[in-house]
Amino acid sequence: MTTATLQQGEEALARFIRGDATAFADIVQEHQSMVFSIAFHFLHDRGRAEEVAQDVFLRLYRHLASIKSGDHLVFWLRKVTCRRSIDEVRKLPKAPPASLEDVAAPAAESRDLDPLLSRGLQRLVASLSEDARAVVVLRYQEELDLADIAEILDIPVNTVKSRLQRSLEILREKFHRWAGDVER
**pLDDT value of position 99:** 52
Say whether pLDDT at 97 is over 60: no
Cβ 52 vs Cβ 95: under 8 Å: no
Residues whose CB falls within 8 Å of the CB of residue 30, separated by 6 or more in sequence, listed in order: 5, 8, 9, 12
pLDDT in tens, 109-138: 444 455 656 777 788 888 888 889 999 989
Q: What is the fold of 1-92?
A: Rna Polymerase Sigma Factor; Chain: A (1.10.1740)
Architecture of domain 98-184: Orthogonal Bundle (1.10)
**pLDDT value of position 44:** 87
Q: Is 153 helix (H, G, I), strand (E, B) or coil?
A: helix
Question: What ranges do the domains of the chain cover?
Answer: 1-92, 98-184
pLDDT in tens, 72-91: 999 999 999 999 999 998 88
Measured between alpha carbons, how far is 56 from 76 in angstroms, rounded to an integer? 10
pLDDT in tens, 17-43: 788 878 899 999 999 999 999 999 888
Closest of 144, 125, 127 to residue 77, by C-alpha:
144
Closest of 33, 36, 34, 30 to residue 9, by C-alpha:
30
pTM for this predicted structure: 0.68
Residues whose CB falls within 8 Å of the CB of residue 136, separated by 6 or more in sequence, listed in order: 125, 128, 164, 167, 168, 171
